Structure 1
Amino acid sequence: MNNLVDIFCDVDDFCHQFLPKWEAQLLSNGTRKRIRSSKMSISERMTIVIAFHQSNHRDFKNFYIGLVRQYWSEYFPELLSYTRFINTMSELIVPMCAYFQTVKGEPTGIAFVDSTSLKVCHNIRIPRHRVFADSAKRGKGTMGWFFGFKLHLLINHNGEIIALNISPGNTNDRTPIPDLCKNLTGKLYADKGYIGKKLSETLKESDIDLVTTVRKNMKAKVISAFDRAMLSKRYIIETVNDQLKNISQIEHSRHRSATGFMLNVISGIVAYCLKKQKPRIRLANSELEMMAA
């Protein structure tokens, strides 16, 4: 339970700073006429949603009714009914996105980029799917064709997420890279799907050195021993993607709205960011010297 308290304290401190400014902006630009108060604070609701993505539960209803209501009611004295809680979850998307900016990692000079599919339904149900009929697209990944979106991740060598982008499933992996790398410098390691002369030149202008593997029909490139070692450790970002899907539960096919989909993804990513133990690459002093050279 200490972990739950720690999450709430950090989220609540953030909300005390962020919410007054956000609510004042909503009132000033006419987005809302008034801000209605709720029995449960936004920080309490954000804590519950983040805790769900750290709990290994696969179903939020069972988590809320079976765990939160039965065992955590003393921590949340004004706990809402499950139906009411679900109806208010759309209010959390903006604070959750803003909170992510405070818990994400910082560039370290070594970064890895990759994309992973976010399927929103099984392939046989694509013709009947309605929720994302106008926004999701068919794409192809290493596991075959899918219908949904792509999550593009940029992480440092400590396994911390630096930036992310969500795009339709048919988006080329190279397209979001310039925006993802706006605040990045140093080495960027990627697979052969990111090979492109134009992309390399664009990143070079921002002092980013894109290092990729090569295709079978390409000549072998001369790269440093350090770059070769880092390319062999690209599994770190695949491990992060695996934890996001199988532990943080950012992918499922039961979404009822685009807002619910976005909240599920970003809150799962926040839950990962708050984990103390992350996959990381431990670099020896000799390896750091190789990088400097």
Structure 2
Amino acid sequence: MSTSREQAEDFIEAAGARLSARRAAVRRLIGVAPSERRAQTQALLLAAGRELIADKGIGGTSVGDICSRAGFTRGAFYSNFTDMDHFVQRLAEEQWDSIIAFVDGSVAGAMPGDPDRPAPETDAELTAGLAELASRLLGAMPISREVFLLQHEFAAYIARTEDANAGASPLRESYAAFKQHLVGVLVEGLASIGRECLLSPEDTTELILATAVRSMRMALDAAAANGDLDTVDVAGAGAADSSDLTAFLGRTLPTLLARLSTPVPQPRGLDE
């Protein structure tokens, strides 16, 4: 009996040592630029994981599912990622990096072309300016069914797995950078029509993002109720335009911008 138990303990110890060695080897590869073949393998695995997690959630997606979708063995997965948590971390960071790149590429188009144009003086001019700014902000926000679903999965993942006392993680920092880009767009856009945020720019941006989430959820709920979910934009280029997901936001954003902003105080003249 003791011999069998000792053999089992030796087997478990050896298996643990092999697992630790494999994870250590993968961690060493993380800091090294991958070869073209390895980079392609990682990209295909991440693409498969992105589709599956958007469809079934992190909890409903297994390593086997990802490998089957990507056409690789489990060995290929574990040669590139230490475990499922590492894979999700990489996927989330890639997602936020792509969103930041999208926002960066849209910022120039999100700003009025003439920074020296006079601020609106009449209600009609202000209404037109707010409508233009709302349109440009919508153009700078990457919105799709996949982005919406992945955002919620990653937010839940952060809440479940991160230690509040461990400091900011790369994932949380990427999300903060994404929101900071939108803060800059909002502040500059309002300044171009002579207005500034009534609340802090960060809080104002959070409110707009929350409205965007509500708009997407309303559109997806309606599509699901009508059996039209397959026609909703899945990855930015589906059968339906992303404006389907932002119809509510498109209607309400000009009013939000008006209520959440105030005219920039004009400097008092020396003769006053």
Report the TM range for the smaller structure's normalisation: 0.3 to 0.5
TM-score normalised to structure 2 length: 0.34
TM-score normalised to structure 1 length: 0.33
Highest Rg: 1 or 2?
Answer: 2
Higher helix share: 2
